[in-house]
A = this chain, B = another copy of it.
Amino acid sequence: MTPARSRRPGAPTRTERGIPEATVARLPVYLRALTALSDSGIATASSEDLATAAGVNSAKLRKDLSYLGSYGTRGVGYDVEYLRYQIAREIGVTQDWAVVIVGIGNLGHALANYSGFGTRGFRIVALLDAAPELVGERIGDMVVRDFAELEEIVAADRVSIGVITTPAGPAQEVCDRLVAAGVTSILNFAPVVLSVPDGVDIRKVDLSIELQILAYHEQRKSGEAALPEVPELPAINGLPDLPSVGGGVGA
């Protein structure tokens, strides 16, 4: 008998079934690890095993899983198949999601050919591009269609996820069209910051940014002490003395 809304005073005020964003981002990793274990014929795994497979530490994994419920068995571990189903259900990949890809350049081609889509809950229902010379091209078992057909396709196939692989220029306009057509989740590969109304989720994948982040760390590794500390653009208004640590500037 669980009382309808009784919450202990010290409870962390977690929204009803609200899972922290950081945890949500890791659930797909756990799902993949579980699938790998399952394929290896392993039926039970401890949090330590799973954590190793997923590349996180076991405490974090246990806490993450605890947001879903108590699906483990103390002293034993987790049943791989059972947990896999629970995570898949939580994420929503037990159902099929219709996806459109807009922008059939190099990257669009690659994604269209990527087999990993259909395997787990996602189904590409259309490849769209506005360039007449691309429309009609066959890619795998699909044909590129005109971007003008977007609204029709979204309505017909209940498309809720759009992938933007256009260049930066038309990306915002494509995004607006997607949203207007009823798409409420967007995965953006174009190197621009897209703005969307509330209620629309957007995620960004940006190769260039990833490389730059790596470059930053790389620079710190190699140039540990060889950095050009002071740029060659000196006289910018006699900057306030930075060396704060020594403090003996005026002494």
Where the two chains meet, the residues of A that have a C-beta atom closer than 8 Å to any C-beta of B are: 5-7, 16, 24-25, 27-29, 31-33, 42-46, 49, 53-55, 69-71, 73, 76-77, 79, 82, 85-86, 89-93, 95, 97, 99, 105-107, 109-111, 113-114, 116-117, 120-122, 160-161, 184-187, 191, 193, 195, 199, 201, 203, 205-219, 221-222, 228, 231, 233, 236-237, 239-240, 242-245, 247
Contact = CB atoms under 8 A, between A and B. Distances in A.
A208 B116 contact: yes
Contacts of A42: 245
Given A43-B242, A221-B184, A208 B28 contact: yes
Nearest to A16: B245
Nearest to A158: B222
30 contacts: A6-B245, A16-B245, A24-B216, A24-B217, A28-B206, A28-B213, A33-B193, A43-B240, A53-B193, A55-B193, A55-B195, A76-B242, A79-B239, A79-B242, A85-B231, A89-B228, A89-B231, A91-B216, A91-B219, A92-B212, A92-B215, A93-B215, A97-B218, A106-B110, A117-B211, A122-B211, A122-B215, A161-B214, A184-B218, A185-B215
Given A99-B211, A114-B207, A237-B73, A160 B222 contact: yes
A29 B216 contact: no
Total copies of this chain within the assembly: 2
A222 B77 CA distance: 33
A27 B212 contact: yes
Contacts of A245: 6-7, 16, 42-46, 49, 77
